[in-house]
Amino acid sequence: MTHVGPAGPPVWASVTGAALGVVVDLVARLRRGRPLHPQGLVLRGRVVRDGTGHTERSGAAWVDEPGESDVVVRLSRGGGLPRWFPDVAGLAWRADDGDVLLSSPLGRAPVLRLVPFLRRRHGRTSYSSLLPYESDAGPVMLLAEPLVGRALPTGREALADALAAEPLVLRLSWARTDSPWRAFGRLEARVDREVRRADPGAPAPDTTLRLDPLRTPPGLRTYPWVEALRRPAYGAARRHPVAPDGARDAPADRPDRPDRAPARASGPAPTAARTEPDRRAT
């Protein structure tokens, strides 16, 4: 999956990656669980790729060629900070042909698209790959942004109800690190409405599924320096267990659902998430 050149990653990337691995391991020990994106909501999704339709192609088959695939989507908060406090918003999905992990950037413009930034809620947030992929034609950044922005609840239970009623639809675009964004498809994600109606007291669905940023879609590869930055941190995260249904909202984090008791640790997971956890990824 990854493309490693003969020279290998630069020293600065290896040293920085090792330091990040130590930090992530410490956070996991203190938290006693998933250190990165611990709070999440899993959704059913579908990615529809229309193809680039532009003179310039990305150089990656997954971006340039049309296609459709069912995916498992996860919305999350990167640091697991309290709901009332901004956090790095995460959007990730798993398909048969690869995983995509995006986080909220400072902006869409060059340089800004490389910098993570704290956001209050999903629904009006864009998500960027932050670091470029490698393709046959050069670096490729990915972006997902809502087709129609709307204020979604911050609480996990209320967010699940909102996305059961109306899906989250995002435009998918690609760019070089310094070029304009070019749309190539869309992602539609929702919570299963019938599941929420059938058991309204069930906890909002999360999953133990671990997504792997090094499991890239066809035609997209990981630069050696990016792999050197990421591998130690994700390796440290994999050494720690994940709760069966992810991190829970504390009752104080769910003022919009005061009548609901704390979620049960053994609550049912959605059909899309009933997948044996991939212990090789995070």
Phi, psi dihedrals of residue 142, rounded to the nearest 5°:
-115, 145
Domain spans, the chain: 11-257+265-273
pTM reported for the whole predicted model: 0.78
Residues with Cβ within 8 Å of 122's Cβ and at least 6 positions away in sequence, in order, are: 75, 89, 91, 152, 159, 168
Residues 64-85: what's their mean pLDDT? 88
Q: Which of 50-64, 160-174, 251-265 has the lowest mean pLDDT?
A: 251-265
> Which pLDDT score is estimated for 240?
67
> Which pLDDT score is estimated for 249?
38
Domain 11-257+265-273, classified CATH 2.40.180.10, yes or no: yes
Q: Which among 117, 121, 169 is positioned nearest to 145, based on CA atoms?
A: 169
